[in-house]
Amino acid sequence: MTARTLTVLAALYFFHFFRHGMVLPLVPLYASEMGASTAFVGVIVSGFNLLSLCLALYVGRVADKVAVRTMLLVAAAGNIVYSLLLLVAQGPWGIFVAQLSGGLGFLFLIVSSQAAVSQIPQQGKRERGFGLLSFAAALGQGTGPVVGGWIVSVAGYTTVFILAVGLALTGLSAIWVRHEKTGTPGQIPQWREAGTLLKDKRFLGVLLFTLSILFAVSLRGSFLPLLLRQKGFSPGLIGAYLSLFAVAMTVVRVWVGRLMGATSRPFLVAIALALITIPVALMPLVHNQWGVAGALVVFGLGFGISQPLSMVMVSDLSHSENSGLAMGLRFTTITAATFSSPLILGAVAEIAGLSAAFVVPTLLLLTTAMVLWGGWHRLRAQQLK
């Protein structure tokens, strides 16, 4: 992969995640104002991942054959349709339909670009490539929410969605991407290769780590905005708080490539889990502005470490000829988490209140930490025999 291609991918990531970060926290607020119940807000947020849940593995297989440029242009089309549908939505169901298209655009962009970076043969360059994409994504997510929150405060939701259409059009710059596949032309990994990957307990551990993190982080785009509004914060302030999360994520991703090169994977997994579990557990208990800000900064630091780490660990355990399939499995796991989280937590919030929705992710994170700790010790014992 050339430096120019990687730069174009990073630019696509920035504009995509800027638009995504701008719209993401507004969707539950917008749906709620249009009459959606707390449970149906969960359904709407989950709708973003519904089609991806069914198609991520197939898209991962296709990414090992089809040119990255083609995949990215399909992603751009999905994002343009998404933004237009949000603009014309007349009720909660209209937002739900828009979410379906947005999820497909997100799927094609993430899987194809990450599969391309996975094919970089040199481990150090591959880690830096993932670090650059993660940094660009974090930079977009850091600026998007505060811009979206400010615009909706002064000009309303329609203005935000018009800007989102313009930003979605930047995805068409994927026409400049040049990247050749390193595998056999026309070769698509067979489904049995997915089974081979899933037999590796280390790979399963990475997927469990990814699932628990995304299950918790999905709160950011679903019930965290509603919880902050319940605490008395305005949409503009909510957007600023979510930008703090993303700024912290951006800062740590400047250094995450070096961290992964200098520190063991299990240590970074433990750090990421701790940095996410603590603020998720404390968020319902914190009511002052500085406490909320501090919790979101810690939350962002943990997420900033977790995702490039997850990508690199998946890449470590796969090969260039099945990198798309491996990233498809990872994205299926991500989608399963982000699809199920709003549905499950929406039901919990409807029955027991918004604060209760933060208890379930905390328990899942703690369980994951114990499982991975036990698995790591068993692996170490086997290696010493």
**Residue-wise DSSP of 141-167:** HHHHHHHHHHHHHHH-HHHHHHHHHHH
Is 34 strand, coil or helix?
A: coil
Of the ranges 208-212, 293-297, 326-330, which one carries the lowest mean pLDDT score?
Answer: 326-330
CA 114 to chain centre: 13
* Residue where the block lists tokens 């150090």: 124
Is residue 381 scored above 70 in pLDDT?
A: no
C-alpha to C-alpha distances, 49 to 73, 136, 310, 323, 376, nearest whole angstrom? 19, 22, 19, 22, 31
Is residue 181 scored above 60 in pLDDT?
A: no
pLDDT average, residue stretch 140-169: 89
pLDDT of residue 119: 73
pLDDT of residue 183: 46
pLDDT of residue 184: 44
Is residue 241 scored above 50 in pLDDT?
A: yes
Is residue 226 scored above 90 in pLDDT?
A: no
User: Do the beta carbons of residue 72 and residue 171 sit within 8 Å?
Assistant: yes
Of the ranges 62-66, 72-76, 196-200, 311-315, which one carries the lowest mean pLDDT score?
Answer: 62-66
Q: What are the pLDDT digits (tens) for 274-316?
A: 999 999 999 999 888 899 999 999 999 999 899 888 988 888 8
Q: How many residues does the chain have?
A: 385
Give dist(CA 111, CA 327) in Å, integer.
6
Residues 6+ apart with CB under 8 A from 275: 298, 299, 301, 302, 305
DSSP element (H, E) containing 122: none
Is residue 207 scored above 70 in pLDDT?
A: yes
pLDDT of residue 173: 83
Give dist(CA 96, CA 199) in Å, integer.
36
Q: What are the pLDDT digits (tens) for 339-357?
A: 888 889 988 988 998 899 9
pLDDT of residue 193: 66
Residues 6+ apart with CB under 8 A from 10: 132, 133, 135, 136
pLDDT of residue 39: 83
Give dist(CA 310, CA 205) in Å, integer.
10
pLDDT of residue 179: 59
Is residue 111 scored above 70 in pLDDT?
A: yes
pLDDT average, residue stretch 121-131: 73
pLDDT of residue 2: 67
Give dist(CA 295, CA 286) in Å, integer.
8
Q: How many CA atoms lie within 13 A of 47 on its CB side?
A: 23
For domain 3-384, give the CATH number: 1.20.1250.20
Is 373 strand, coil or helix?
A: helix
- Considering only residues 363 and 250, tell me which one the structure prediction assigns the higher pLDDT: 363
What is the secondary structure of 170-223 as a DSSP string?
GGGGGGG------S-TT----HHHHHHHHH-HHHHHHHHHHHHHHHHHGGGGTH
Residues 6+ apart with CB under 8 A from 370: none
Instruction: Give residue 189's pLDDT band: very low, low, confident or very high (50, 70, 90).
Output: very low
Is residue 149 scored above 60 in pLDDT?
A: yes
Instruction: Give residue 182's pLDDT band: very low, low, confident or very high (50, 70, 90).
Output: very low
Q: Domain residues of the chain, as ranges? A: 3-384
Is residue 188 scored above 50 in pLDDT?
A: no
Average pLDDT over the chain reads 84
- Considering only residues 324 and 19, tell me which one the structure prediction assigns the higher pLDDT: 19
Percent of the chain's residues with pLDDT above 70: 91
Instruction: Give residue 379's pLDDT band: very low, low, confident or very high (50, 70, 90).
Output: low
DSSP 183: S
- Considering only residues 250 and 211, tell me which one the structure prediction assigns the higher pLDDT: 211
Of the ranges 49-53, 107-111, 213-217, which one carries the lowest mean pLDDT score?
Answer: 49-53
Percent of the chain's residues with pLDDT above 90: 30
